[in-house]
Amino acid sequence: MDLSKIEGLSEDQQAAIMAQFNTGIEGLKNKNSELINEKKNVQQANEEKEQALEDARKAALNAEEQRLKLAGDMDGLKTHFEQQLAEQTAKANEAAEKAQTALLSRDKQSVLGKALALIHDDFKAVSTPMLSSMIDISYNDKGEAVTSFKNNGEVIATDVSTFQSWAEKQDTFKNILNGVNSSGAGATQTGSASGKPLTLTEKAIMLNQNPNAKF
């Protein structure tokens, strides 16, 4: 902070202001460090608690295994191992499902972001749910994401570029794409560009831009 440009401040006043400023900054830094350390301590405590519970679980399982072995209970030992295998399989499946869901969400958001880049800023919010519902993500044998844009259950594009070509020909999209001025933001009209009655989506888009629009 440069106080030399402020007229009327003596050197002593500038020094006093800077000292107060530096004290405030130092206090903020210290508070930030305290919060970071507190977060680390809570995280460490949770990790230690989880580790203690896991150690206790393993100890109990081992104790039960030893008891069954000493008792010569082969059927009980078999059931014991089967239960452990079932629990481990369930945990592995749950972890895999969470990872798959996170991956699917990431890839869909990536495609949605690219598709929204085609839409004029005034219409991004109202278009987001519609575009999101059109995007379908699957994965091939190599684990690569495969994108499909669907309309009424029919695949109309397999990437953002081909979707743009399709959208430019649709009444629902062509007037809200970037670079299109036919009846864009702020327009009030009683029908679609083709002269057909407005769809619910087109009405929602027009009302979002102009609450006084009449149909």
Residue 15 lies in a domain: no
Query: Domain residues for 197?
Result: 106-209
Residue 146 lies in a domain: yes
Residue 167 lies in a domain: yes
Residue 154 lies in a domain: yes
Residue 39 lies in a domain: no
CB atoms within 10 A of CB 199: 12
Residue 195 lies in a domain: yes
List, for residues 110-159, the tens digit of each pLDDT value: 999 999 999 998 889 989 999 999 999 999 988 889 999 999 889 999 99
Per-residue model confidence (pLDDT) at position 135: 95
CB within 8 Å of 108: residues ≥ 6 apart = 132, 135, 137
Q: Are 145 and 137 in contact (CB under 8 A)?
A: yes
Q: How many distinct structural domains can be found in the chain?
A: 1
Residue 157 lies in a domain: yes
List, for residues 172-189, the tens digit of each pLDDT value: 888 888 865 444 444 434
Residue 171 lies in a domain: yes
* pTM, full prediction: 0.50
Residue 131 or residue 209, greater confidence: 131
DSSP, collapsed to helix, strand or coil, labels residue 101 as helix
Q: Are 204 and 126 in contact (CB under 8 A)?
A: yes
